[in-house]
Structure 1
Amino acid sequence: MKLYQLHSRQNLPITPQVAWAFLSNPANLKVITPEHMGFHILNGADREMFPGQIIQYKVSPFAGITTKWVTEITHVKEGEYFVDEQRFGPYALWHHKHFIKPVPGGVEMEDVIDYKLPFGILGQLTHPILVKKQLKKIFAYREKKLEELFGSMKDSTNELSMKSI
């Protein structure tokens, strides 16, 4: 069983309260997801985020492939972090931690995603040529979109790294 990890950090010139209000609203996930992915929330995003919340999406991770994705919000610490875990969807495992912390001039937003692909060795073979590239594109889009919405911090060091665990 091979686990992978995506780690992203981005600094924005906004308050922790503004960052939390945006990131903890499930409806905003559509705003920071590339249009070509056909991302639509089916249900579960009509309330303020809480542990145990189930959110259902429809997404097209690759052209011609549409799938349902069901996540559960498992942990929430207001203003600081939340965790979503896939209950049903394209991954064998998806555990996504979202952190917000104040830094001089704004906030640092950090995402740590531990994931596993289905289909054993076949899934592992698709990782470098399909999945890893797609996730990098999604997070590059997300970073750009957040900078368009909130501005960028001078001298900030936004990072994206991916590794096998």
Structure 2
Amino acid sequence: MKLYQLHSRQTLPITQDEAWNFLSNPANLKLITPDHMGFHILNGADRDMFPGQIIQYSVAPFAGITTKWVTEITHVKEGEYFVDEQRFGPYALWHHKHFINPVSGGVEMEDIIDYKLPFGILGQLAHPMLVKKQLEKIFAYREMKLEEIFGRMKDSSNKLSIKSIS
């Protein structure tokens, strides 16, 4: 079993409350997801975030392939972090931690995603050519959109890494 980890950090010139209010609202995920992904919330995003919340999406991770994705919000510490886990969808495992850390002049948003691909060795072969590249594009788009919405910090040191951890 091959486990991968995506680690992203982005600093923005906003308050922790502003970051939390935006990121903890599932409806805003569509704003920071590339249009070609065909991302739509089907249900479950009609209330403030809470542990146990189930959210259903429709997404097209690759052209011509649309799938449903069901996530559960498993942990929430208001203003600081939340965790979503895939219950049904394109990954064999998806565990996504979202942290909002105050820094001088703004916040650092940190994402740590541990994921596993389905289809055994075929999934592992597809990772570098398809999945990793797609995740890099999605997070580059997200970084650009968040800077468009909130501005860029003067000495921003945004980082993205994806690596195999097992």
Q: Normalising by structure 1, what TM-score? A: 1.00
Q: Deviations over 1:107-158 (max 9, x none)?
A: 0000000000000000000000000000000000000000000000011100
- Tell me, what secondary structure is at the counterpart of 1:91? coil
CA distance in 2, matches of 1:108, 1:16: 9
The residue type paired with residue 150 of structure 1 is F
| Structure 1 residue ranges, 4+ long, deviating more than 3 angstroms after superposition | none
- Counterpart for residue 60 of structure 1: 60
The residue type paired with residue 114 of structure 1 is D
Q: How does 1:132-151 map to 2 (within 5 A)?
A: 132-151=132-151
The residue type paired with residue 103 of structure 1 is V
Tell whether 2:69 aligns with 1:69: yes
- Counterpart for residue 99 of structure 2: 99
CA distance in 1, matches of 2:162, 2:117: 14
The residue type paired with residue 116 of structure 2 is K
The residue type paired with residue 99 of structure 2 is F
CA distance in 2, matches of 1:158, 1:129: 23
- Tell me, what secondary structure is at the counterpart of 1:79? coil
- Counterpart for residue 112 of structure 1: 112
- Counterpart for residue 84 of structure 1: 84
Q: Normalising by structure 2, what TM-score? A: 0.99
Q: Superposition RMSD on alpha carbons, in Å?
A: 0.2
- Counterpart for residue 39 of structure 1: 39
- Tell me, what secondary structure is at the counterpart of 1:31? helix
- Counterpart for residue 155 of structure 2: 155
The residue type paired with residue 65 of structure 1 is I
Size of the aligned set, in residue pairs, is: 165
- Tell me, what secondary structure is at the counterpart of 1:47? coil
- Tell me, what secondary structure is at the counterpart of 2:136? helix
- Counterpart for residue 28 of structure 2: 28
- Tell me, what secondary structure is at the counterpart of 1:73? strand
Calculate percent identity across the aligned residue pairs: 87
The residue type paired with residue 71 of structure 1 is T
- Tell me, what secondary structure is at the counterpart of 2:31? coil
Unaligned 5+ runs, structure 1? none
- Counterpart for residue 19 of structure 1: 19
Unaligned 5+ runs, structure 2? none
- Counterpart for residue 164 of structure 1: 164
- Tell me, what secondary structure is at the counterpart of 2:33? coil
